[in-house]
Each structure stands twice: as C-alpha cells, then as structure tokens.
Copies of this chain bind each other. A is one copy, B any other.
Amino acid sequence: MISDYIKTKFTAIVGAENVDVSPAGRLVYSYDATPNFQSMPDAVIAPRNTKEVSQIVNVCREEKIPIVPRGSGTNLAAGTVPSEGGIVLLFKHMNQILEIDEENLTVTVQPGVVTLNMINAVEKRGLFYPPDPSSMKISTIGGNINENSGGLRGLKYGVTRDYVMALEAVLPNGDIIRTGGKLAKDVAGYDLTRLLTGSEGTLAVITEATLKLIPMPETKQTMLALYQSMDAAAKSVSEIIAAKIIPATLEFLDRPTLKAVEDFAKIGLPTDVEAVLLIEQDGPAEIVARDMQKIADICTREQAVSVQIAATEAEALALTSARRAALSALARLKPTTILEDATVPRSEIANMVKAINEIAAKHNVTIATFGHAGDGNLHPTCPTDARDHDEMERVEAAFADIFAKAIELGGTITGEHGVGMMKAPYLEWKMGPEGIAIMKAIKQSFDPDNIMNPGKIFAKETRKRLVISQ
C-alpha cells in the first residue's frame, strides 16, 4: 500500500478522481490477458498529459515505487501485471488522435487510442496502417508500441516497429524526450525510437507517437486452401515465396484449431482436413487477380485438396473472421488457455509443427497450432486447466521444449507477444548470457532504480534447459 503522504502527492498532480486506491479498483488491474499471473497494484493513476506523467515518474523515482504503464492489458506474456506492486498508469485521458497528416503520410496519436479506432480514422482518408494484432479491437497504440505488436499482415508489411517514426517519452529520471520525426531518414544518434518500441514499458513511458501510413491498397482477395498433410501446406508456402509472390496474409490452421473454430463460428469450414492455408493478397486489381491465380495453381500443384477464392467480400470476411476467432474458439474448450508464439524461419514451419505435435504427445497434453505461416510466427495453443497442477507442470514442460526447438531451428521464443514475466526465464536461451548482460546494462542505463515495469524481460533465474529428445 502507498502511504497517505504519497497518495496526496499523486492527487496533487492528477486530481483525486484520477487516483484509485480502492481494493476493487486495484483488483481490475491486478492481471492482464495472461493466465496464471496476478498481483495487486498499490494504486491506479490516470494522468491527463505528458507533464503529469513526468511528475508522477518523479514521485515514483524519489519513493522507489514501481510504474506499470498499461493499455488495454491484452498482452499474453504477463507484461502488464504489477508483479512488484506500485502504480498502474492508465491512458484513458490520453486517447486522442492528434493529427492525420496527409502530405507526410503520418498519424500522430496519444498512447491510449484504441488501435482499430485509429485504423478506421486513417482508412477514411484512404490511408493504411498495416499492423493488425488480433486484439486490435480493444488494444491501444501505446500497448502495441511497447510490445512491438505484429499481426496477420507481418509478412508483407512488417510489424509495429516498422511504422513508428517518432516518439515522445518520459524517462525514469523524469526527462521528456522526443525521438525521430516525420522523417523517412534520420540518423541523428542512436535509434531511440526503435529501442523504446518493444521495450515493454521497462525503459520509459511513451506519451505520444507519430506513425507512418501508406496508401490504402486498391483491392483485396481472399483464398482458402485445404490440405491432407502439413508438409504439403508448408511446401505451398515455400513455393509461393519462391515464385516471388509476397501475399498480404498467409495464415495456417491445423485440424484441432479448425474444428474448434467451426464449432464456434459455424461458417461451414471443413473439419476433416489436416491443414488450412488462408491467403490474402492486396494491391491493384489486375495484380491481385494475377497473384491469386498463380497462388491457386501452386496450391493445387502441391496437393491441396481444395482451393477456393472467396467470391464476395462477405465470404472473404467470414474466412478472415474465422482465423481471427481461433484463439476465442480454442479458449472455449477448457477453463485455461495457454497461447504461445514461438517463431521460426519460414522454411522451418513444417519441421516446427511436426515437433510441436511430438512434444504434445510426449508430455501428454493437447496442443492446437495456428498462426502466421508466411512469417514463421506460430501460435501453439494449449487448452488446459490451471487447477490441475499435474497437467500444468506437463504444459510448462511442453512449452519449454517448444522454445528450445524453435531456437534450435533458428527461431525465437517470442515473435510478437513479448517476453514479459512469462517468458523471462527463457530469454537467455535465445540471447545467451552475453546478450542478457548487455540488455541488462541498457536497462540499468535508463532506469538505475528499476522502477519501470520491474520483473519483466529479465528473470531472477533462467530456466534450466533440458536436451529435447529428438
């Protein structure tokens, strides 16, 4: 709990109505979308502007109070759980789209803007913000930047990082800095913009961002290809890229995911195939038509049992909605859903999916897998029950094996979800002790008192790495 003295300080900055120390108010922000992680904050504070953020940070530094910046809490790595107490910083007042600049193709926003609201606002002007995390209906841009969120369009268009041009941020010492600009080119010193992007709130509080926009693609088409073998689906992915076609999305669902989605959404998806590719291309109509035909030919040649291009926009929307519903659908199966995002080079997808299935069998757990086949970002998902401690231990062991295998195949422990608390014990597997050491040195240089989102990214202890049985 914070003392009355400190509460008075916060109240003087943001007003009594923006400081919540009630048990109910704190409980709401004691967890995020990640199962099995919960910890109460001492206060929930909603600043109204950057100056107030700076003043709050100054109080927290003087009093050594942890600060957890939080958007909508949709992250899946326990990145916004106040594991060491302190204050949760909300951006409900800092939620304005400040400017859409059509001449420089930028949008400037406060961190609390909901991603989809911003996307809709720029699309009205014929402009396009490609990063589309599955949570975009409720996630905020501030959260997206802190997590460097990905999405379905990563293969062709990149991730949040590729669209952040400038930031305003409050450093742990209370300084307000501005990085970058409305500039495609800027090499004035270290790339603070991209260092802060994806830093999970551990280095600074982001208070404003200018994002790059591109012209809206003229048209889009959607295709579903069904396979009786994962290898054939993966081979199709490779052949599409080898044909020098980069689809806007290239998604994969395995049979268990497909069954869960169809049970949930009832849009007539087949449930008797081993793998499905959902493929979209966007761009000028004639090029989209040409690409889609080439892709259809490749899928057919690579033993797809069915290839179907959506005839109408409604049909296309149903297909992409099905993919976007995968997590919700799987979450209905059991009380607890553990969703991971081990990522491998595109060429290793078939090997990785095979390994995931073997690991699931070895540990006697159920794992359904879907994800972004085009960029190797897979989401092995385990429907389980947090109350079954024996099963939870096996689930954890299975995911440890999955991380190890991903790294062995040249991949990473997290493609788009972040490290947070959940994957901190595995970060050293990817980065080595030398990589961890330099990351910790950077953290120390920004935040010597460790007040910024402590307990995230860096683990007290690295998990012991076991050799996987091949």
A→B interface (CB under 8 Å): 101-105, 126, 147-148, 150, 154-155, 158-159, 161-162, 171, 175-179, 181-192, 194-195, 197-199, 203, 214-216, 238, 241-242, 244-246, 284, 286-287, 290, 343-347, 372, 374-377, 410-419, 423, 427, 430-432, 434-439, 441-446, 457
Contact = CB atoms under 8 A, between A and B. Distances in A.
17 contacts: A104-B345, A159-B184, A159-B185, A161-B191, A161-B194, A162-B162, A171-B438, A175-B434, A183-B376, A185-B376, A190-B195, A190-B203, A190-B439, A190-B443, A215-B244, A284-B286, A438-B445
Contact of A444 (B192, B344, B418, B445): B445
Instruction: Count chain B CB atoms within 10 A of each CB in A203, A347, A445 and give the residue with the most.
Output: A445
A442 B187 contact: no
Contacts of A158: 162, 184
A176 B377 CA distance: 27
Number of copies: 2
A415 B185 contact: yes
A188 to B, nearest CB: 5
Contacts of A442: 190, 195, 442, 445
Contacts of A161: 191, 194
B246 A215 contact: yes
Contact of A377 (B147, B184, B199): B184
Contact of A182 (B101, B183, B410, B415): B410
Contacts of A188: 412-414, 419, 423, 427, 430-431
A188 B367 CA distance: 23
A14 to B, nearest CB: 23
